[in-house]
Amino acid sequence: MPTSIRYVGDLPTPSLLVDLDRLDANITTMAARWPGTSLRPHVKAFKSTALAARLAANGHTGFCCATVKEITGMARAGLGTDLLLANEVVDPVRLAVLAALVDGGARITVAVDSDFTVAAVADAGLSDVLIDVNVGLPRCGCPMEVAGPLADLARSRGLTVRGVMGYEGHLMGVDDRAARTAGTQKSMSVLSAAHGSVGGEVVSGGGTGTWDCNDVITELQAGSYTLMDTYYRKLNLPFTPALSVLGTVVSTNPQGYAVADVGLKALGMDHGDPTITAAAVWFCSDEHITYAPEATPPTLPRIGDRVEVWPAHVDPTVAYHEHFSVIRRNDPAAPIDDAEVVDEWPIDLRGW
């Protein structure tokens, strides 16, 4: 971080901000229910070994990853105590990279859901797997009734089957908590049945949306709770938005709108437009956000003013940026420019 940057007002825009106090509060809240290795933080949400190290320092030393790049970066950063690749990989070159990391001392467990993936993992010389079971989300995961035979196949190939995983991703965005809980129980009954035929000590699943309605798993795979976004915010979870994109107003129009330099290349857009406090967001273009203040009468910001934009989806937002600017709002009522920049964390696990 350049030494000239001490306050948010010194940052160029767009910049990705992490509010350190809010992040720490989210970590604490989650750890009260899922302490230590009962939480397996999902690295895909933040893609940063610096943020992961903060979680490890809090006792969460086992991590979940979605890509080989995330696994390799974590292992090379000394965070390879217990890494789960919660995804199917069939590329022998990349699986060989994982095997080399295991030889170097990392523990890496890989999800498998087919004869093909079992063979690929065994051929690469890896040893630890989880049987990935479909629990309702139409994505990876074998049918429940195949889980046992697949575990047998894996063991016959010399693999250690640590247990099962199943991700109830189709329930993460269900607004009503009772419905979310009921759906999760149904999904987890599938996972439990699969676990009965697979064996092993691990039952891995869940996410931020089901953090408090999943009692079956032995470990929770949650990542978004650290930073939060508007998608999860509507669930009224006890986690606080800690991630924003800082922008600068570059144009205003007498018709009552302003334009800032936070566009859709600085934001994950699959969950829709981001939000701006006390304003209606009209739309995002590549490098712009057009929005109208909601005050009556509308009071336009001045050109050069800073604005915080709150992403609708953490994961793909983070993946566009090279680093987090870590900030502290010493006075929450003060303009964002006055917040202190206390650190810069590289987003070093991007790509594949």
Q: State which of residues 57, 179, 278, 303 lies at the interface with a copy of itself (CB under 8 A).
A: 303
Length of the chain: 352
Is the separation of the CB atoms in 119 and 111 below 8 Å? no
Closer residue to a copy of itself, CB minimum distance, 76 or 350: 350
Of 64, 56, 53, 60, nearest in space to 37 by CA: 60
Q: Which two tokens stand for residue 245?
A: 């994109």
For a copy of itself, the closer of residues 287 and 344 by Cβ is: 287
* Binding flag, residue 230, a copy of itself (CB under 8 A): no
Instruction: Determine the interface stretch with a copy of itself among 102-110, 121-129, 136-144, 193-201 (rule: CB under 8 A).
Output: 136-144
Binding a copy of itself by CB under 8 A: which of 9, 301, 319, 346? 319
Q: 């809980």: which residue's tokens?
A: 181
Q: In three state form, how does the secondary structure of 269-317 look?
A: CCCCCCECCCEEEEEECCCCEEEEECCCCCCCCCCCCEEEEECCCHHHH
- Give the span between the Cα atoms of 313 and 228, in whole angstroms: 8
Least distance in angstroms from the C-beta of 46 to a copy of itself: 12
- SS3 string, 195-207, reads HHHHCCCEEEECC
Kindly state whether residue 5 participates in binding a copy of itself, applying the rule CB under 8 A: no
CB under 8 A: which stretch of 12-20, 175-183, 196-204, 228-236 binds a copy of itself?
12-20
Q: Are 290 and 283 in contact (CB under 8 A)?
A: yes
Nearer to a copy of itself, 83 or 266 (CB): 266
Quick check: bond before 2 cis, omega within 30? no
Which residues are paired to 270 by β-bridges? none
Pattern 254-293, a copy of itself, x by CB under 8 A = xx-x-x-x--xxx-xxx-----------x-xxxxx-x---
Q: Interface with a copy of itself by CB under 8 A: which range of 89-97, 183-191, 202-210, 234-242?
A: 89-97
- Considering only 25, 77, 250, 280, the residue that binds a copy of itself (CB under 8 A) is 250
Q: In 86-134, where do the E strands start and end?
A: 108-112, 128-132
Residue with smaller CB distance to a copy of itself, 82 or 88 = 88
Chain position carrying tokens 């870590």:
326
1-33 in b/e burial notation, b at 16+ Cβ within 10 A?
eeeeeeebeebebbbbbbbbebbeebbebbbee
Give least dist CB 57 to a copy of itself, A. 26
The rounded distance, in Å, linking the Cα atoms of 324 and 315 is 13
Does 66 interact with a copy of itself (rule: CB under 8 A)? yes
Token pair of 81 as six digits: 């105590």
Q: Which is nearer to a copy of itself, 234 or 265 (CB)?
A: 265
Question: Which two structure tokens, joined as six digits, stand for 149?
Answer: 């035979």
Q: Shortest distance, CB of residue 289 to a copy of itself, whole angstroms?
A: 9
| 352 makes contact with a copy of itself (CB under 8 A) | yes
* List 59, 143, 173, 335, residue binding a copy of itself (CB under 8 A): 143
Q: Which is nearer to a copy of itself, 9 or 25 (CB)?
A: 9
Query: Considering the rule CB under 8 A, would residue 166 count as an interface residue with a copy of itself?
Result: no
Residue type, 293: P
Interface ranges with a copy of itself (CB under 8 A) = 12-14, 44, 66-67, 87-91, 93-94, 113-114, 116-117, 134, 138-141, 143, 169, 248, 250-255, 257, 259, 261, 264-266, 268-270, 282, 284-288, 290, 302-304, 315-316, 319-320, 322, 351-352
